[in-house]
A = this chain, B = another copy of it.
Amino acid sequence: MKNRRIVLVSRPEGWATEANFRLEETVVTPPADGQFLVRNHWLSLDPYMRGRMDATKSYAKYVELGEVMTGGTVGEVVESRHPGFKAGEFVNGALGWQDYAVTDGAGVRKVDGSKAPLPYYLGVLGMPGVTAWVGLLEIAQPQPGETVVVSAASGAVGSVVGQIAKIKGCRAVGIAGGGEKCGYVTGELGFDACVDHRAGRLHEDLQAAAPKGIDVAFENVGGPVLDAELRLMNPFGRITICGLISQYNATEPYGIRNLRSVLTNRLRMQGFIVSDRMELWPRALADLVQWVADGKIKYRETVAHGLESAPKAFLGMLRGENFGKQLVKLT
């Protein structure tokens, strides 16, 4: 049986391009004892993948040249020699940019398509949703009445952060690129305000959107956005550094100028990766399932079709062209 997969063939200098990837055909290796074969139905595309394309030290090993690109997936078990997984079951894992994968089950969990649509397990009920829950509630710990600012507010993580902030009684302010996204953030998602960072008045608009200052900044973007937040932070504010997408394709990093605010306002700025806090996943997922069922968390997806569309969709997401969670439908 044939497999198709997308491998990394060169490392980007600055912006990644489609030439960094190659679609390959290989033959599926049958599963050995203790393994099973999965047909991936959905592939998740996320900003962190840009970091894995660089051969630099980070929290996770980068992708080697010639290796299949890393990525979260939902798929169906089609053949199993593993006692814990049966053919016909659906699973969520990080099985990569490919149609089929053989796995020993490490990091793979079963998902129930009757409880929620399968792709939700790559978004609001998957890594992005749990990232929002952990980063906001465990790292930043907002209190009712506080102002929470989240960048990339229409994205898979940011959209959930702001809606959780509202559930917890906070003022939720989004930062997003363009009027259409901002309209979605304040309209469908119910944020109190949204700042268009492309409008060229970041400081003034953020000040107007957060008239009492910022208590919590949930940072997905970095660069000038983080600098603008630092200027408006309140004493004892918290900044969760979840992502810095503005920097991932930069050849020269942006210099943060307002770091003095960390001292004068006694801020706590903390980086985190959801995989360091896997013990919180069940608690987070239970909340998220309930909130989605109750209609308190709304959610949008952008879907590309076919494995071959993944590189283009990924690059578009890095430029902010997607709307909500970026997925690839593989079947």
Contact = CB atoms under 8 A, between A and B. Distances in A.
B272 A266 contact: yes
A33 to B, nearest CB: 35
Contacts of A273: 263, 266
A259 B224 CA distance: 12
A313 interface: no
A270 B233 CA distance: 13
Contacts of A257: 253-256
A269 B262 contact: yes
Contacts of A294: none
Contacts of A256: 255-257, 259
Contacts of A258: 253
A271 B256 CA distance: 16
Interface in A223-278: 226, 235, 241-244, 247, 253-273, 276
A58 interface: yes
B262 A266 contact: no
Interface in A286-306: none
27 contacts: A57-B264, A58-B264, A59-B266, A222-B259, A226-B259, A241-B259, A242-B263, A244-B259, A244-B260, A244-B263, A247-B260, A253-B259, A254-B255, A255-B256, A256-B257, A259-B259, A262-B269, A263-B273, A264-B271, A265-B271, A266-B270, A266-B273, A267-B271, A268-B268, A268-B270, A269-B269, A269-B270
